[in-house]
Amino acid sequence: MGAHALDHDLDDLAASARAALVREIDASGAWDADPVWRSAFEAVPRHLFVPYYYVGVMGGHERRWGEDPDPHRREAWLRGAYADVPLATRMRDGELVSSSSQPSLMAKMLTELEVRDGDAVLEIGAGTGYNAALLGHRLGDDQVTTVDLDPEITESARRHLATAGHHPAVVTGDGARGVPERAPFDRIIATCTMTSIPRPWLAQCRPGARILAPLATGLIALRVREAGYAEGHFLHTPAFFVPLRGDTPPEPEPPRLGGLPYWARTDDLFRFLTILTAGSLDPYDAYALWEREHQPVRERYGVTVSGADAWAWLDDPQGPYAWPLP
């Protein structure tokens, strides 16, 4: 079989795999609140943004890539590109530094961003460029800015986007500082884990803007009420992302949970609480609170940012359970 026939077969496979992924996201209900995102996932070819990625194998990682001379391995790469799983796209000294997020989680986050026609969006963490392409399809490329600290990541994202026919603003810089030259923004979405909410983001937002960011294994959705003030609740969705790198506080050390019941130590919601309150609440006190409040779900927690102060809280920002954020 010639190379042209192989390429044609892969094009057909990509189309059918993309359609299957859309059906899978459909079934998850991720975009029920804004089904317009369905057309973005139908139109944007994910495989163009992951020309190679890494999968875990015994003793390390295996690289899958679209230029593999073995047609069976090329097919495995293509099928994997449309699996509803996160893909490790950049490793450095055995450490994951960039990835393509799970598509159904991306769909959920984009829906929760609550964009409207004409909104200007800032994405923190360029990754492969796939998320920026989805935003560009929905809003137009000129409304989208994506930023990343690593010039290798922004260069590859820019190249992937161009291959897919998209040209949003791709900026190399510290995402914690935002992109003031492209402000003001109506929406900010982060695709990397934060330790707190950077104040420059608020300063670069219009009143009424929405910020969606991973924090403490959850997703915080904030509404910016005025310059320097934002508040909102966590979504119910758990979220695990690569940490933001740059001019930000270091990640807190994971709390030591020895001595607590095993089921508590392994419970996702309890670990969320211990990470959210790390440095300000002893894990044993956190456990007592968690039991007393009937093991509260993520949606009961929230965050307030007011000037130089930022705090997490349970149920009420002025209530008895509040903890400072970095």
Q: What is the H or E stretch that residue 218 is in? A: strand 218-226
- What DSSP letter does each residue of 69-94 carry, written as one string? SSHHHHHHHHHHHTSSS-EEEEEETT
Q: Are residues 289 and 280 in contact, defined by beta-carbon separation less than 8 angstroms?
A: no
Strands 144-148 and 95-100: unpaired
- C-alpha span between 166 and 142 (Å, rounded): 10
Angle, alpha carbons 311-316-321 (nearest 5°): 60
* β-bridge partners, 170: 146
Mark whether 28 is an active-site residue. Answer: no
Residues 147, 151, 153, 158, CA torsion sign: positive
Choosing from 98, 99, 100, 196, which is the catalytic residue?
A: 98
CB count in 10 Å sphere of residue 212: 21
Annotated catalytic residues are: 98
